Structure 1
Amino acid sequence: MQIGIDSFVINTPDAITGQVISTAERIRNVLEEIECADRAGLDVFGIGEHHRADFADSAPAIILAAAAARTNRIRLTSAVTVLSADDPVRVFQDFATLDLISGGRAEIVAGRGSFADAYPLFGYSLEDYDSLFTEKLDLLLRIRDNTEVRWSGKHRAPLTGQGVYPRPVQASLPIWLGVGGTPASFIRAGTLGLPLMVAIIGGEPARFRPLIDLYREAGRKAGHPPEQLIVGIHAIGYVAGTMQQAVEDLAPGYMHTFNEVGKERGWPPTTMAHFKAGVSPQGALLVGDPEHVARKIASYDEKLGGISRITFQMSAASLPHERLLESIQLIGTKVVPVFK
């Protein structure tokens, strides 16, 4: 199993002190966090995509390209690329260039995003939510597999044999499908034979097993070999030296973030009881001391029928940069050895 980190480069005030840093400093910090993950032996680092004042990740490929020049082995991916609101030609060019800079370490996780901000920003209607993604994913896969592309659709001008350059180092640039909890998305990934990245941000992980089984069955029916149908998990996580320290560090910012988002989406208040349920052995949060978190990763693997990658989403709260570096180091030097 590959183990890594995802960051949304969140830059909200500290939930306890109210302190906030500049966007420039936050960007510098995330580059140092990627370097730290590379040195700690982690397998992958992902940067999300949001178009909001409280996130600094609207251009993930640029952040990842800067990180590529400062790292040696860690794979670099989006988490996720909001493909519905982007041009697949530019997405491919950006990540092919990242692949060239990094020496073949680039990946894409394509999705529709958990916020709707990108759609009006780039002139798209939410009424076309599904057709935009379906069409643009088809074009992105076509570009990946063909240098010269012939294609037509509803939401973009046709391609009539133009070449799409540059081409990546990797013979086939890895493209994962990022999903939430919609059964049709799991079926789509299986039918296309794409690796699946499941975002699990709450509840009990076991509830996703029927959806993952749906993905594997759809892939089997489409004729894809089982080894091609790999599953990754993106989960909120944070590791400290002790369980108490991990809870004290993460809980205030976690509850603040979820309550702020909840105001927009009509969620009930997130409480300490909700947080502790997520930290419990049955919950989804990868939060605690190294041994507890290693057991949680093993339980994910068992409950979901085998997973190939798990990434810690470490920006659910604006934690101090030094704490994030310490957590990344603990994941690489303590969690991974205990798990393996």
Structure 2
Amino acid sequence: MEIGIDSFVATCPGQDDAQAVADLLDRIVAADEAGLDLFALGEHHRGDFLDSAAHMYLAAAAARTKRIKLGSAVTVLSAADPVRVFQNFATLDLISNGRAEIVAGRGSFVESFPLFGYDLADYRELFKEKLELLLKIRDEETITWRGRFRAPLVEQSIYPRPAQEKLPIWLGVGGTPASFVRAGQLGLPLMVAVIGGQTYRFAPLVDAYREAWLQAGHPESEMRVGLHSLGYVAATSEAAHEGFYPGYKQMFDKIGKERGGAPVTPDGYRGQVGPTGALVVGEPSEVAEKILRHSKALGGIDRFTFQMDMVMNSPTGGGHAGQLEAIRLIGEEVMPVVLAEV
């Protein structure tokens, strides 16, 4: 199993944005040195996050790292040009000597649609068409293609080509059953974002992915399932929760207010960090145990990524230093336990 970090490059009150970016790059270097398998960045276009051009940060990190994979936690493909997405990540692949990846998805925020001139009513059709084009560009150097939302391409060659023979493209999914089936039919690795609820409830959807994969005739050996979860690791369970909860509550209270949801409560939080809850927070041994439990519940996973941005806005979270310590603990104490069991 691969273990890594996802970040949205969250902004922090009182911190200069340039310093936040410098800290991010230091964390990616630390993850590389700690032996983590990947570091991925999301994509948002709002004031809470600094990840609107994630490939730029990843390219900077590529020059400072040696082995860690560098990718998107999600590329909001619906509002992007697949040609530019491919060119950006193919270039990153060349800079990193074959360490780039893409997780293509629709994202959980929709601010990119009006920003780039798309109609939210075309939400599903946009993604379907653009994913088709991105995969065609990946698989063929010169293409002819026509769609509804972009100018046609006639015998058009797309450069540069990546260092890898086939640039890895995962499909990022939430809870929509059709998305799981689509990933299986297309033969794409699956990245499941579980940010709340009970992780085991996603098992039927992952089963549907595996069934669609096999029915489509793709090699079973190439099937891969990843899990993205909110989490944090500290030396003690108490320190982990003290560091994580305030920032988690602040972020999800704000999102809940925007979307008409209820505020986070201590009882609700306790349910989320319990044995079957989605949040993976605690000291190293209990975190390793929960990752293994989630893997078993989903029939075995091939990748697990932590989303720890919440601690940046927590007065007891240790901020950047806390994340660096969490990265060290993941590399030194969580990964050995997980890999020994796997």
**Alignment TM-score > 0.5, same fold:** yes
Q: Secondary structure at the match of 1:316?
A: helix
CA contact (8 A) 1:257 1:317 kept: no
What's the CA shift for 1:273? Answer: 1.5
Q: Which residue of 2 aligns with 1:190?
A: 184
Q: After superposition, where does 1:134-173 map in structure 2 within 5 Å?
A: 134-173=128-167
Aligned length: 334
Question: Which ranges of 4 or more aligned residues in structure 1 deviate by more than 6 Å?
Answer: none
Partners of 1:333 and 1:314 in 2: how far apart? Answer: 17
In the other structure, the counterpart of 1:206 is 200
Deviation at 1:316, TM superposition (A): 2.9
Task: Establish whether residue 325 from structure 1 lines up as the match of residue 319 from structure 2.
Answer: no
Residue identity (%): 60
Equivalent residue for 1:17?
Answer: none
Q: Equivalent residue for 1:6?
A: 6
Work out whether residues 311 and 322 of structure 2, in 8 Å CA contact, stay in contact via their aligned partners in 1. Answer: no
Contact 1:10 1:317 in 2 (8 A): no
| Residues in 2 aligned to 1:33 and 1:162: alpha-carbon distance in whole angstroms | 39
Which of 225, 233, 236 is the equivalent residue of 1:231? 225
Determine the C-alpha separation between the residues in 1 that align with 2:111 and 2:299.
35
Name the SS for the 2:52 alignment partner: coil
CA contact (8 A) 1:183 1:211 kept: yes
In the superposition, the TM-score normalised over structure 1's length comes to 0.97
* Per-residue Cα deviation, 1:26-46 (whole angstroms, up to 9, x for no partner): 111100000000000000000
Structure 1 residue 336 and structure 2 residue 335: aligned? yes
1:230-287: CA deviation from partner (whole Å, max 9, x where unpaired)? 1000000100000000000110110110000000111111112122212111211110
Q: Secondary structure at the match of 2:231?
A: strand
In structure 2, the partner of 1:109 is 103
- Pick aligned residue for 2:271 from 269, 277, 302: 277
Q: Within the alignment, does 1:258 sit opposite 2:257 as a pair?
A: no
Q: Deviations over 1:96-116 (max 9, x none)?
A: 000000000000000011100
Matched, 1:27 2:21: yes
- Partner SS for 1:310: strand
1:79 aligns with 2:73: yes
Whole-angstrom distance in 2 between the partners of 1:116 and 1:81: 13
Question: CA separation in 2, counterparts of 1:68 and 1:279?
Answer: 34
Q: Tell me the amino acid that sits aligned with residue 265 of structure 1.
A: R
Gaps of 5+ in 2: none
Following superposition of structure 1 onto structure 2, how do residues 304-323 of structure 1 map, counting pairs within 5 Å? 304-318=298-312, 319=317, 320-323=319-322
**RMSD between aligned alpha carbons?**
0.8
Structure 2 CA distance for aligned equivalents of residues 77 and 46 of structure 1: 5
